[in-house]
Structure 1
Amino acid sequence: MAQDPAETPYAPPSRRSFSYYLVLLVLVAPLWCFVPLSWVWVIYVLRSGWIWSFSWPARLCFAVSLCEVIFSVYHYHLVRYVSNSVRHAHVNFSELQSAFHRVLKAGLADLPEDGYDEETLNVSRPGSPEETIVKLEADDHRAIEFRNTLRTWFGKVQWSVVRKHEVRQWLYWSIFNTDLPPLSELSESHRTVLDDTMQLLEKRLGQEIPEGSCPDARPMRLSVDPVHILWRPFVLYASVAVANFYLKNWHWKKRGFQSGSYENLEYIIRIPHGWDSTHGSRPLVILHGLGLGLLQYHTFFRQVHKEFKDRPILIVLQPHISQDIFHPRFLQPMSRRETSKRLAHLIHALGWSRYLEQDGSESEEEKRDSETDRLSGNGVTLLSHSNGSYAHAWMLKDFPHLVTRSCFVDPVTFCSWEGDIARNFLYKTPTTGPELVVRYFVGSELGIANLMHKHFDWSSNALWYEDIPNARDPSKTIFLLGGKDGLLHTERVLKYLHSHGVRKGIWCDPEGLHGQALLTGGEGMKTILEWL
């Protein structure tokens, strides 16, 4: 019998690294202490009455502290709002059922490690295994691997301690995006869906899940679990806002970019003088990831602007993941349908590609025109980084005809159903400096926590090989990964892509961290620029 890695106890690092304490003392602690110290200072000054004897510098210091106090109250109100909000998302059961079947079929085709078998693939959906979901044996290596992967959602406990109550909680959340009520209170339709899904899951696991409950195996349920948000000072938010305002309205404007908004989808764009869609270079659309928006990606955008002055560049701005707390839609991120439809309409309005309805219906004349567009090089190159790969996935699912080429950098959209992204980003206790930076400055920030906890749609965010046009063509699709990425499970992503025949279109730096491929002068950046 094959050794079962799902029964290997997970041993987290027993000690925090030196870099953790360095980041804690130099960066996190001073910023975290800024708010409580402001409260102490303001209360002390008001109680003592010394403010009237202060010099102008001291009064300015008091004014800043007072702003911090007022802002902290406002921030606390927003935190309470996010923590108590309940998102009633419309459930598309057919799409959800399809996504869940894809999860169960991923890795089900018994393919060799270094290749794939075309005979097991549906021609219309290359890479999608056609095997029927049948009950596997407990010692089948596919069942063992699936159990080891699935336990990530349950705190990486040994699979043998997981019980049916926790699995029901996880399944019910993944289907209905809410907490599991007592089974006696479930409607007949919900109980049927839950039981049928459980049966399919147990077939894939190769064993039945014992009845009962185990508190140690509490599942991750992003929209149900408490939202972990840490305060940060007003001066930090204000500094980021000022920097991004400067970059958007002055720096990039002087370099030929214009800012715009299409039905609340904000962007900056540069179209070279004299460029036309028939003979000009293919436009580039960029979707950035979580962090600080234009400020964080400034050096990358500057390099792309410098290298490609002959082609249009569209950078989609996402205030809800850019710590733009003063933006009116900061806590109201666009849904998948809103984002993909508005971006598609914008691309069409710019004349960069033809627009089709989402169902893909088109007349014979439109089909001929679309073929002409394809041959003449119309369409856009879509480049995404990290969280931006979710919007990239939405475009490929809803409007694949608009995307001629795709560049995925640190794509969190692949294998996101396995739970590593959620665990590493939101649940895992940081033990190193980089992990603490990600947790404090990104993962526990109000807008980003709101997005990940209250607006996370796993079935929409998950991208499958068969959804990517020309995935095996390295001139049309490229994937850039870091071997030491602390967020996504690089080994699993590579295995998924390799099993579907993707070879030449993968660039992986064995020592690369998350985001390192975008650093100026690095091999990742050189690869991206050469491919573009």
Structure 2
Amino acid sequence: MAPTNTQSEHTSIENIPTPPRPYTLSYFAVLIFLVAPIWSTTPAASLFIAHTLFIKHGGFWALGTTQRTTFCLALCEAIFSAYYYHLERKVSAAGTFGPGNVAELQTIFTRLLKTGMANLPEEGYDEETLDTERPGSPAESITLLGNDDPRAVDFRHSIRAWFRNAPWSSLRRQGVTRWLYWTIFNDYMPSSPQQISSSHQAILDHTYDQLQKRTGYVIPEGEGSAPLLLTLDKMVVCFRPLWWYTALAVINRYLEYRLEKHYQTRRISHEGLDFLIRIPTQWNAQKGPTPILFIHGLGLGLLQYYTVFIELFGSFTDRPILIPLQPHISQDIFHPRYLTPLPRREAVKRYTSLITKLGWTSDIALGMGEDDSSFSVSGRGVTVVSHSNGSYLHAWILKENPFMVSRSCFVDPVTFCGWEGELCYNFLYRPSRTGIELIMRYFVGTELGVANVLRRHFDWTSNSLFYEEIPHARDPQKALYVLGGQDDIVNSPRVKKYLTSHGIKKGIYYNPTARHGQALIGGGEGFPIILQWLRDEDSLTT
């Protein structure tokens, strides 16, 4: 039975056009005083080289010592710009990874369609599942919803972000099918139906039918609004100069030296991955508090998280702390793995082998064979704290080896409700209108390494974490979720609604005025909550 469109197309929330947003003064301040000076380095260097070689009488040999030094620096910038362009061309090809496991993807897509089908109240789950460990949506079936069913309206409103927030009434079958084909097969849909294999067509037709039931809406024929095809769309990269990357590398190496000097950290490498680690000599693997694995997000690496790290190392001298150094999201262009991020299973395999080798969890429990007698084994796992993009790796670990994680703290998580599309649109497609949006767009979102990760290696099925995949999700001592109501990237109110509707109450810290990353700023309200939650483990181990 097909859905019928009985509701007025122009009265529902999903058909309200997104109002145009004006530029703010902060946008122009960031553009003039931050972006322009950095971006203009290469054009200025090129003009100086051209003036010296073709206009100035005597050319290079007529320059003084200072001018010759400037010329050499300008020449380095010009050569680097050509190299940067080469790297951009190298990674810009669409669809650099395959469709993955189609069966797994179908399961995940069906799971997201079930999200919200249980009609759970925002502040708790339904009475029928009150005593179950995993209440709500996973047990529901996808049934035909009425056009004006609140569940259908809400779903249509959330999905339209994949179409640049166009009114739902502007969507047509061809555009929606192209979007579905991309989500399933990570490829452009062939222009002719004859070019689609029978097996692919069967999967596509079934998924489309399920989607129409979930939306309670008959999608008209035609092309309609164009969908976002994240891994296929043109990769937008804004150039930055050699001096930027050099300065950032020098600063981060210096900060690494300071951590080593003042907090006894050391850098280790494991199967091609680099980490900062500190293991107190008095820590006992069987009786001591569980180690902390802190997974940072996109940005500037140590420079961006340095105050967080010194607070962690200074506050928790009684337990090991492990920090992955992720060059592909830290603008570390000089690192050999800068443009080669690991896929989900390979990454988790390497992390698991390191955690096991360190003796922080049992390899017998992980099904990896006999324990190495040279390492003590606690078998109790690690406490994982992730921020923003780091919640993707956090999600990967929980999906593959949930028993390795004893406690989880998600700060500004992007792994929840990512299937709705607003996160993708806000960070990578939405035109910048404020200073903070321009900072996120230029200094993070359009940086080559970050763009490569998000636009050419993004695997939405791996990156989407559902409630039932979180161990002890409703135990506030073992799971903490930190959200900011004014987050410019994450729709935190919707994430909060998703979590609370599944019975997560006490473990959520929600600051309605906090922005993305503000919870990790020293002196803010969120950071002491995180530190106290980490300290509270002492009551679990005594």
TM-score using structure 2 length: 0.92
Could you tell me how far apart the structure 2 residues matched to 1:78 and 1:68 are? 15
- Residue 484 (1) aligns with residue 486 (2): yes
* 8 Å CA contact 1:249, 1:259 repeated in 2: no
Instruction: Quote how far apart the aligned CAs of 1:114 are.
Output: 2.1
- Residue 207 (1) aligns with residue 217 (2): yes
Instruction: Quote how far apart the aligned CAs of 1:43 are.
Output: 1.3
Q: Within 5 Å, which residues of 2 pair with 1:37-186?
A: 37-47=44-54, 48=56, 49-84=58-93, 86-89=95-98, 91-120=100-129, 123=132, 125-182=134-191, 183-186=193-196
* 8 Å CA contact 1:109, 1:120 repeated in 2: no
- Residue 386 (1) aligns with residue 384 (2): no
Could you tell me how far apart the structure 1 residues matched to 2:361 and 2:254 are? 31
The DSSP-based 3-state class of the residue aligned with 1:442 is helix
Q: 1:84-118: CA deviations, max 9, x gaps?
A: 25413252122111111111010111122322115
* 8 Å CA contact 1:355, 1:402 repeated in 2: no
Read off the aligned partner of 1:293 and give its amino acid letter: G
* 8 Å CA contact 2:94, 2:232 repeated in 1: no
Q: Which residue of 1 aligns with 2:236?
A: 228
Q: Which residue of 2 aligns with 1:301?
A: 309
Read off the aligned partner of 1:252 and give its amino acid letter: E
* 8 Å CA contact 1:120, 1:129 repeated in 2: no
* 8 Å CA contact 2:328, 2:339 repeated in 1: yes
> Which ranges in structure 2 are unaligned for 5 or more consecutive residues?
1-6, 372-376, 535-542
Could you tell me how far apart the structure 2 residues matched to 1:88 and 1:333 are? 12
* 8 Å CA contact 2:163, 2:227 repeated in 1: yes
* 8 Å CA contact 1:121, 1:130 repeated in 2: no
Distance 1:166 1:253, change over 3 A: farther
Instruction: Quote how far apart the aligned CAs of 1:356 are.
Output: 5.3
Higher alpha-carbon deviation: 111-120 or 174-183 = 111-120
* 8 Å CA contact 2:481, 2:508 repeated in 1: yes
- Residue 25 (1) aligns with residue 53 (2): no
Read off the aligned partner of 1:397 and give its amino acid letter: K
Q: 1:273-315: CA deviations, max 9, x gaps?
A: 1212012221100100000111110011011111111110000
Instruction: Quote how far apart the aligned CAs of 1:461 are.
Output: 0.1
* 8 Å CA contact 1:386, 1:410 repeated in 2: yes
Instruction: Quote how far apart the aligned CAs of 1:173 are.
Output: 0.5
Instruction: Quote how far apart the aligned CAs of 1:55 are.
Output: 2.4
* 8 Å CA contact 2:116, 2:137 repeated in 1: no
Read off the aligned partner of 1:145 and give its amino acid letter: D
Could you tell me how far apart the structure 1 residues matched to 2:97 and 2:475 are? 40
* 8 Å CA contact 2:77, 2:241 repeated in 1: yes
Distance 1:186 1:70, change over 3 A: same
Q: Which residue of 1 aligns with 2:460?
A: 458
How many residues end up aligned between the 2 structures? 518
Distance 1:10 1:426, change over 3 A: same
Instruction: Quote how far apart the aligned CAs of 1:121 are.
Output: 7.5
Q: Which residue of 2 aligns with 1:240?
A: 248
Could you tell me how far apart the structure 2 residues matched to 1:243 and 1:89 are? 37
Q: Within 5 Å, which residues of 2 pair with 1:333-482?
A: 333-355=341-363, 378-482=380-484
Could you tell me how far apart the structure 2 residues matched to 1:428 and 1:136 are? 31
Read off the aligned partner of 1:21 and give its amino acid letter: F
Q: Which residue of 2 aligns with 1:272?
A: 280
- Residue 332 (1) aligns with residue 334 (2): no
The DSSP-based 3-state class of the residue aligned with 1:266 is strand
Instruction: Quote how far apart the aligned CAs of 1:230 are.
Output: 0.6
* 8 Å CA contact 2:173, 2:219 repeated in 1: yes
- Residue 494 (1) aligns with residue 486 (2): no
> Which ranges in structure 1 are unaligned for 5 or more consecutive residues?
367-371
Could you tell me how far apart the structure 2 residues matched to 1:251 and 1:391 are? 24
Higher alpha-carbon deviation: 245-254 or 283-292 = 245-254
Could you tell me how far apart the structure 2 residues matched to 1:171 and 1:121 are? 34
* 8 Å CA contact 1:10, 1:157 repeated in 2: yes
Could you tell me how far apart the structure 2 residues matched to 1:379 and 1:499 are? 28
* RMSD (Å) for aligned C-alpha atoms: 1.9
Q: 1:335-374: CA deviations, max 9, x gaps?
A: 11111111111111000111358xx7699x99xxxxx967
Instruction: Quote how far apart the aligned CAs of 1:68 are.
Output: 0.6
Distance 1:101 1:121, change over 3 A: farther
Instruction: Quote how far apart the aligned CAs of 1:327 are.
Output: 1.1
Read off the aligned partner of 2:318 and give its amino acid letter: D
Could you tell me how far apart the structure 1 residues matched to 2:102 and 2:329 are? 28
Q: 1:452-511: CA deviations, max 9, x gaps?
A: 010000010000110011111111110111110000101110100010001011111111
The DSSP-based 3-state class of the residue aligned with 1:316 is strand
Could you tell me how far apart the structure 1 residues matched to 2:20 and 2:472 are? 40
Instruction: Quote how far apart the aligned CAs of 1:250 are.
Output: 5.0
* 8 Å CA contact 2:120, 2:136 repeated in 1: no
Identity across matched positions, percent: 49
Could you tell me how far apart the structure 1 residues matched to 2:452 and 2:324 are? 20
Could you tell me how far apart the structure 1 residues matched to 2:495 and 2:441 are? 22
Distance 1:463 1:428, change over 3 A: same
Distance 1:356 1:89, change over 3 A: farther
Return the match for 1:523 from 517, 522, 525.
Answer: 525
Could you tell me how far apart the structure 2 residues matched to 1:167 and 1:222 are? 14
* 8 Å CA contact 1:293, 1:317 repeated in 2: yes
Could you tell me how far apart the structure 2 residues matched to 1:113 and 1:88 are? 38
Could you tell me how far apart the structure 2 residues matched to 1:122 and 1:75 are? 56
Distance 1:204 1:120, change over 3 A: farther
Instruction: Quote how far apart the aligned CAs of 1:150 are.
Output: 0.8
Could you tell me how far apart the structure 2 residues matched to 1:127 and 1:350 are? 38
Return the match for 1:191 from 166, 191, 201.
Answer: 201
Could you tell me how far apart the structure 2 residues matched to 1:85 and 1:149 are? 26
Higher alpha-carbon deviation: 74-83 or 451-460 = 74-83
